[in-house]
A and B are shown apart, each in its own frame.
Chain A
């Protein structure tokens, strides 16, 4: 195998293709996570991936590692149980915004407080994709979805202040900014403490189509135009991507 494709050792290739729709951004994130795993040479034995329910939740099964696919919203407490039971394990949570911020919001809040040394990667597609396109906790204001036919009356939640105030790691990136995504995930995995990476990723079938995007590429290009990299900011604005850290420093002693 050449260096370019070494990341494939982290995937159960015989299970491909995935159940995700054509044009879905989840595959980009899945591949990038594996590339970072490869880059950091994460131990195949000694790394555990945990996920919740939903499109993103299915990704745990595709890792060629021990993985746990839990109930809706419960990936974080299961991951915490694993980490506390065996500190030597690298525990990574992969799940969607509905799962982590909606039904699992309370667990997120308290995991930040406990500073459990796990990394959470959130596939933030702003919609409940698997159930057909209902509003999620980060669906923007005034956007029409299945459950907000007159436009979303609510404003999206922003969890980054929680991380700032608890000396934890928060990063926002997108499926378009591949190198930036790699950097965010890499630093999150190296971070000693609770780290959270929000990856804006596209759901063309149950979201983008209704927003007027003709195809997933067009939706992806929106991320290119809309999001600006601002890595030095202490706080990210709605259209900024970057890394926000609390007072703790990134350590390389993994």
Chain B
């Protein structure tokens, strides 16, 4: 029927009155298609081609491909040997086949992709305008598209995504280290998108954007190695923030620090459109360079291109560096919020307990008494509530650790007992005792050391550099008080009289975790050390050895905030050197020592050990160490050391600068 009419191509208005509305539209549409499309399509094609050429010409004239924003959006970066290259490795990220290395060809191809007719888009695919909304927005700002000549496509999924996220703020979330895991000291960063929809007090309901590696192995060594050389793909993901709070705060029990940032809504809008573009691509994940922090900083730069956050980074981007750099910007950080982990919450309650309460909690944890027990019932109601609150934190933490596929539950009997007691104020709401300190107030992660010293024979100068991370003699604000992790620490000495430069020490990797004794968690202290050393217990002209150490021990701190830390270790040790008989020695040592904070800036270490080597070249000798450190500022300290190895003594005065 419709065809009949259409064959004669009447004026649409004259026949349209004879149809219902829906039919009318359909018919009108088909009619136009048949009658005018050949002409319009051809004309339109010409208009399109002309307009595209015009835009491309303008873009070239304005040198848009050289603009910082374009480079940020496409992740272009000047690489040594490679010139301008995009960090994105998923080729869908580019419209031009040369896009990865040619910003201009990518820009021209992007403009041209915006003109693709919607009809040509394959089913299940999105129009380029919908895939690259941030590029569209920026190019439109630069070139002011004539919307009569460039058809704007409807992007339904993107619109719903943006409407749900509806950003009014952005918060950088820093997850600190977790117990007994110095490696986690590096922390992790993600970005929370604060929505108009959630309002204040409902931050858990906001979404978080996370950049993470997608590894293909669960072998720990391969995992670390592949991470270093960038052979995992890294991807962005978005999820409700509460899932991350559960994961970091509760499962891994890491304190979270939230840095609320200052951005305009338009900037946030751009950032989200850019994030949408990133969703479909991946990057090679480099553990020290292109990691979570690096990419989060990139997002913030897209939001506000005037921020220059990535430039200062040379070798590595470490999460703590990112929070420092944000704090260093003018008026970027609005406020810092502390979100204690489940363990911190428990320890906070334990700090408030009197001895009786502590004892009851300990017995509960050991399973000796239940909430029904008279010993428990003899406590006053507020005490009972405090003990049960701490106990439930403990159970939640433990159930998270359990290797079971069962549902995680705190026994109902415990919950019920607690529900019959009044609401208490554990002080968590008003004044939280911070069991970790602000990461942005910690010292820099790189360290340069300049020292002057004298050994048994002659004076020397000492130069040392390491990229990461923290040692136990450094000021520990912003770091785990009981751990150290050192990576690639190279120390050279210039001996003045013998006029020689020697490699004194190269710590490839050295980790110490002093886990102070805790009645509720019996975790041993442990340490591992791998690197090049000088054989200091003998006179072989500062000859080197390759050594490895692994040990376990016990540490004790009277309470969490006590300035005193005692430790002891029993280590296995092996050294290889051509200066040793049979070229090696194998044995161990027993060490005891103490750290004491006289003031926040003045720390003293005293330690002694007895070394026993039984295989290879056998030898027994004592070592003793006395070290003091005085911190002059966040990033500078001076140290004085006296060391004795067997019968060789040395004294060193050094300045350590962190950056």
Our verdict on whether A and B bind, yes or no, reads: no
- B interface, CB within 8 angstroms of A: none
- A interface, CB within 8 angstroms of B: none
